[in-house]
A and B are shown apart, each in its own frame.
Chain A
């Protein structure tokens, strides 16, 4: 009986280890989704309401608690005279460790550019970002799903193997 219980614990442990190992991938996907929703809100504020970037970021900070730290830090930096928006964006985006270097680079390049583009070209600019972000999210999802399944399966199988060996 004790052997069976131990074997079960080992299998559950294997599944748990798999979950832990694949957690960063899930976090990254969640962060990308959260950023997408945040960007959609920013797009509305900038393109349709013509709200300045700083104000739009403050509103986004209120609506997206997970990104509040980044958005508030960026909005505060923008309120200081002589701030370079792109540099401020790079510094602020380091506050979200879930983003990869590529994603942070894409966002900071976009934020550095958005304020200088005339209103008539804003919709096209945001369309481009939306498309790029969707592609990025899809790629990450495919990779993370495949890798995650593999790792999860391996961990579960390892747990089962150890359990069989124990029995």
Chain B
């Protein structure tokens, strides 16, 4: 199900009424208060011929996308997004409601960004065919936002899982598996279990304790405690496939926790993606080498 199915009829028809090639290439639909809706994709952007969005419309839309249940989505609202069935992500621009220095929820929504999630089967094939990643190992995939990280690690999980590796996907934001009513909406392979909605660090530890995985897959590492969980997994002999926001190669050094992850050899392979390279976005594959030693 495409994310615009969650839009009200007039808006949905405006999106689906675009030429088929444009609809197919849409990556995002952005709704901003006082502005008409805009779609973004490989074609650039197109402003829809609709009246400007009102704050009330955005509020009603967001509430509907949260299944009329803010209380059930507070954890993701705190982080500024909602996940729709099918793994589509809705970014929320709003005013934070802060209690005791902590964001508890949001109000006065001024923008929504519906980001389409798609399973592109075969995106990780070059890693196996060209770079020899036939056997599960720890892989860190780094790319800027919209760089294809999630798509790549999802496909790598599928390939290794179908190859017989017991895999656990820790899907904190619901984007890797797109679980609806307990059923993953994406093909993650024959030997994959999904921990849906688990915080990454806790999910990694729970997977190791309870599910006996050979591979654990997580999206968007960032926190120090997540790095510690990856280190624990490595010590337990579990391969970790993870993604990481990285706009520039030097950013790995700028983020001390993550740089430490790489320098300590917690990952065997670092894959950098370049979204400007077309379908095969793999820009480089770097294998970890211990200082002065063999890889």
Contact = CB atoms under 8 A, between A and B. Distances in A.
Given A50-B72, A51-B72, A81-B7, A116 B63 contact: yes
Given A81-B12, A116-B63, A122 B71 contact: yes
B67 A53 contact: yes
A82 B67 CA distance: 11
Contacts of B8: 81-82
Contacts, number: 59
B68 A81 contact: no
Given A81-B6, A81-B7, A81-B12, A53 B68 contact: yes
A30 to B, nearest CB: 29
Interface string B100-121: 0000110000000000000000
Given A52-B69, A115-B71, A116-B63, 14 more contacts: A52-B67, A53-B67, A81-B7, A81-B64, A82-B60, A82-B61, A85-B63, A115-B68, A116-B70, A117-B70, A118-B70, A118-B105, A120-B104, A122-B71
Contacts of B225: none
Pairs of residues from A and B, 6 with the lowest C-beta to C-beta distance, nearest first: A52-B67, A115-B68, A52-B69, A82-B8, A119-B71, A52-B72
B74 interface: yes
Contact of A115 (B7, B12, B63): B63
A118 B74 CA distance: 8
A82 B71 contact: no
B16 interface: no
Interface of B: 5-9, 12, 60-61, 63-64, 66-72, 74, 104-105
Contacts of B74: 118-119
Interface of A: 46, 50-55, 78, 81-85, 115-120, 122
A77 to B, nearest CB: 10
Contacts of A46: 69, 71-72
B12 A52 contact: no
Interface majority SS (helix, strand, loop, mixed), chain B:
helix
5 contacts: A54-B68, A82-B60, A84-B60, A115-B71, A120-B104
Contacts of A85: 63, 68
B86 to A, nearest CB: 14
Contact of A82 (B9, B66, B70): B9
A115 B70 CA distance: 6
B67 A78 contact: yes
